[in-house]
Amino acid sequence: MKLKIGILIIVNLIAFIALLYMFDVFGVVNYYTLMRTRIAPNVPLLSRFISKPRVEDMSLLARDDLAKMRESFNLREKDIEAQESLIASRAIELNSQSELIEQDRQNLLSAWSNYQATMDESSQYQLVLTDLANKINSMPPQNSVALLNQLAQNGSDDLVIDVLLEMDSIAATEGRNSTTSYLLSLMDASVAARILEKYEARTNPRNNTVPSSPNDFPSYPDSDMLNDAVIDMGT
For the stretch 51-108, pLDDT in tens is 455 545 567 777 788 888 888 888 888 889 888 888 888 888 888 888 887 887 777 6
Number of domains in the chain: 1
* pTM of the complete model beyond 0.85: no
3-state helix, strand, coil in the chain (%, to 5): 85, 0, 15
Domain span at 160: 120-234
In a domain, 213, yes or no: yes
In a domain, 229, yes or no: yes
In a domain, 36, yes or no: no
Give the alpha-carbon dihedral of 150, 223, 126, 172, to 10 degrees: -60
In a domain, 38, yes or no: no
In a domain, 181, yes or no: yes
pLDDT, tens only, 180-193? 889 989 988 888 89
In a domain, 96, yes or no: no
In a domain, 188, yes or no: yes
Handedness of CA 211, 214, 219, 223 (dihedral sign): positive
In a domain, 208, yes or no: yes
